[in-house]
Amino acid sequence: MRSKTGIVTSAKNDKTIIVTVHAYKTHPKYKKQYRVTNKFHAHDPENKHQLNETVTIYETRPISKLKRWTVIKPEQK
């Protein structure tokens, strides 16, 4: 089960949040690190997560056209 940690960037849809995940990759030739950003649509059945919250999501079966992730829990600071 793959999981990712990111920040909620949109919570406007019903039972869906958009989580932005940042990762660093290294260029194969120049060996410089650069940041890559991906957005994931995640299932939030209770609509309890708000904007700018840090959450952990895990991969699941397809729920809709774009949703392939589900929220595990918010991260504690």
Tokens 């079966």, residue located: 61
pLDDT digits (tens, 9 = 90+) for 5-17: 999 999 999 999 9
63 or 74, greater pLDDT: 63
For the segment 20-26, the average pLDDT, to the nearest whole number, is: 98
How many percent of the chain have pLDDT more than 90?
91
List, as one string, the DSSP characters of 24-56: EEE-TTT--EEEEEEEEEEE-TT----TT-EEE
CATH of region 3-74: 2.40.50.140
d(CA 23, CA 35): 6
What's the pLDDT at 1? 82
Res 75 pLDDT > 70: no
How many percent of the chain have pLDDT more than 70?
94
Q: Where are the domains of the chain?
A: 3-74
